[in-house]
Chains A and B, each alone.
Chain A
Amino acid sequence: MTMTTPRPITSALDARFKPTLYARVGKENSFTLESYRADGGYEAVQRAFALGPDPVIDEMKKSGLRGRGGAGFPTGLKWSFMPLKDGRQHYLICNADESEPGSFKDRYLLTEDPHQLIEGMLIAGFAMRASIGYIYIRGEYVLGAERIDAAIAEARAAGLLGKNVLGSGFDFDLFLHRGAGAYICGEETALMNSLEGLRANPRLKPPFPAASGIYNLPTTINNVESFCAAPHILRYGADWYSSMGTEKSKGNKLFQISGPVARPGVFELPLGATFREIIYDFAGGPLEPIKAIIPGGSSTPMMPWNDAILDTPMDYEAIGAQGSMLGTGGVILIPQDYCIVNATWNLVRFYAHESCGKCTPCREGIGSWMTKIYEKLVRGGGKPGDVELILDMSDNIAGKSFCALADACLGPVVSSIKLFRDEYDYLIANGKSQYGGRSRWAEE
Chain B
Amino acid sequence: MPYFTDKQTVLEDIFSRYPQTEQGRRSALMPLLREVQNALGYVPEAQMEEISTLIGTTATEVKSVMSFYSTYHTIPTGKWHIQVCATLSCALAGSDALWDDLTETLETVPGEVTPDKLFSVQKVECLGSCGTAPMLQVSDIGYAECVTRKKLHTLLEHLKNGGEFVPDTRVPVFMQGGQQLDALENEVGGRTADLEPLPMPG
Instruction: State the A residues within 8 Å of B (CB).
Output: 12-19, 22-27, 30, 40, 43, 46-47, 50-51, 98-104, 106-108, 111-112, 138-143, 175-183, 194-200, 215, 234-237, 240, 256-260, 263-268, 282, 284, 298, 330, 332, 334-335, 338, 343, 346-347, 350, 353-354, 356, 438-444
| Neighbouring A residues of B126 by C-beta, 8 Å | 99-102, 298, 350
The contact of A194 among B23, B30, B91, B191, by CB within 8 Å, is B30
| Neighbouring B residues of A335 by C-beta, 8 Å | 92
The contact of B128 among A51, A98, A263, A440, by CB within 8 Å, is A98
**Docked-complex contact A235 and B167, CB < 8 angstroms:** no
**Docked-complex contact B128 and A140, CB < 8 angstroms:** yes
Closest beta carbon of chain A to B53's beta carbon, Å = 14
**Docked-complex contact B189 and A19, CB < 8 angstroms:** yes
The contact of B198 among A26, A47, A182, A195, by CB within 8 Å, is A47
Indicate whether B130 reaches chain A with its CB closer than 8 angstroms: yes
Known contacts being A178-B30, A178-B31, A236-B197, is A265 close to B88, with CB within 8 Å? no
| Neighbouring A residues of B180 by C-beta, 8 Å | 19, 22-23, 268
Residue in B closest to A351 when the chains form the complex, CB atoms: B125
The contact of B192 among A18, A98, A334, A343, by CB within 8 Å, is A18
The contact of A215 among B19, B89, B133, B134, by CB within 8 Å, is B19
Task: List 13 extra interface pairs beyond A108-B171, A298-B126, CB under 8 A.
Answer: A47-B198, A50-B200, A102-B89, A103-B128, A104-B131, A141-B128, A181-B124, A199-B68, A237-B198, A264-B132, A298-B88, A346-B87, A443-B148
18 CB contacts below 8 A, A to B, read A17-B193, A24-B175, A26-B175, A40-B197, A112-B171, A139-B34, A177-B27, A182-B68, A182-B70, A257-B131, A266-B172, A268-B190, A298-B88, A441-B101, A441-B134, A442-B94, A442-B148, A443-B149
Indicate whether B106 reaches chain A with its CB closer than 8 angstroms: no
Closest beta carbon of chain A to B150's beta carbon, Å = 5
Q: Which of B72-88 contact A (CB under 8 A)?
A: 72, 86-88
Complex Cα distance, B176 from A30, in Å, reads 12
The contact of B140 among A24, A112, A142, A284, by CB within 8 Å, is A142
Complex Cα distance, B133 from A8, in Å, reads 35
Known contacts being A101-B130, A259-B92, A442-B94, is A353 close to B125, with CB within 8 Å? yes
| Neighbouring B residues of A441 by C-beta, 8 Å | 93-98, 101, 134, 148-149
| Neighbouring B residues of A108 by C-beta, 8 Å | 171-172
**Docked-complex contact B30 and A197, CB < 8 angstroms:** yes
Known contacts being A26-B174, A235-B197, is A346 close to B88, with CB within 8 Å? yes
The contact of A107 among B34, B70, B129, B189, by CB within 8 Å, is B129
The contact of A438 among B23, B70, B96, by CB within 8 Å, is B96
**Docked-complex contact A268 and B132, CB < 8 angstroms:** no
Known contacts being A101-B130, A104-B129, A198-B26, is A180 close to B71, with CB within 8 Å? yes
Indicate whether B173 reaches chain A with its CB closer than 8 angstroms: yes
Complex Cα distance, B70 from A443, in Å, reads 30
| Neighbouring B residues of A258 by C-beta, 8 Å | 89, 92, 130-131, 133
Residue of B24, B55, B137, B171 with highest tally of chain A CB at under 10 A: B171
Indicate whether B121 reaches chain A with its CB closer than 8 angstroms: no
| Neighbouring B residues of A175 by C-beta, 8 Å | 17-18
Complex Cα distance, B200 from A260, in Å, reads 47
Closest beta carbon of chain B to A26's beta carbon, Å = 2
Closest beta carbon of chain B to A162's beta carbon, Å = 13
**Docked-complex contact B17 and A177, CB < 8 angstroms:** yes
Closest beta carbon of chain B to A178's beta carbon, Å = 6
Indicate whether B201 reaches chain A with its CB closer than 8 angstroms: yes
**Docked-complex contact B89 and A180, CB < 8 angstroms:** no
**Docked-complex contact B174 and A25, CB < 8 angstroms:** yes
Complex Cα distance, B174 from A236, in Å, reads 23
Q: Which of B1-35 contact A (CB under 8 A)?
A: 17-19, 21, 23-24, 26-31, 33-34
Indicate whether B109 reaches chain A with its CB closer than 8 angstroms: no
Complex Cα distance, B65 from A377, in Å, reads 34
Residue in B closest to A261 when the chains form the complex, CB atoms: B131
Residue in A closest to B91 when the chains form the complex, CB atoms: A346
**Docked-complex contact B148 and A19, CB < 8 angstroms:** no
Indicate whether B161 reaches chain A with its CB closer than 8 angstroms: no
Complex Cα distance, B30 from A179, in Å, reads 7
Known contacts being A102-B130, A338-B92, is A354 close to B148, with CB within 8 Å? no
The contact of A439 among B21, B27, B92, by CB within 8 Å, is B92
Residue in B closest to A108 when the chains form the complex, CB atoms: B171
Nearest 4 Cβ contacts at the A-B interface: A26-B174, A441-B94, A265-B172, A197-B29
| Neighbouring B residues of A141 by C-beta, 8 Å | 128
**Docked-complex contact B171 and A25, CB < 8 angstroms:** yes
Known contacts being A142-B140, A143-B169, A200-B68, is A104 close to B88, with CB within 8 Å? no
Residue in B closest to A357 when the chains form the complex, CB atoms: B68
Complex Cα distance, B87 from A183, in Å, reads 13
Mark B100-127 against chain A: 1 for CB-CB distance below 8 A, else 0.
Answer: 0100000000000000000000001111
Indicate whether B45 reaches chain A with its CB closer than 8 angstroms: no
**Docked-complex contact A107 and B167, CB < 8 angstroms:** no
Closest beta carbon of chain A to B99's beta carbon, Å = 10
**Docked-complex contact B200 and A46, CB < 8 angstroms:** yes
| Neighbouring A residues of B189 by C-beta, 8 Å | 12, 19, 22, 267-268, 282
Complex Cα distance, B127 from A104, in Å, reads 8
Complex Cα distance, B96 from A257, in Å, reads 21
**Docked-complex contact A440 and B28, CB < 8 angstroms:** no
**Docked-complex contact A111 and B34, CB < 8 angstroms:** no
| Neighbouring B residues of A346 by C-beta, 8 Å | 86-88, 91
**Docked-complex contact A264 and B69, CB < 8 angstroms:** no
Q: Which of B160-199 contact A (CB under 8 A)?
A: 167, 169, 171-175, 180, 182, 184, 186, 188-193, 195-198
Complex Cα distance, B137 from A142, in Å, reads 10
**Docked-complex contact A438 and B94, CB < 8 angstroms:** yes
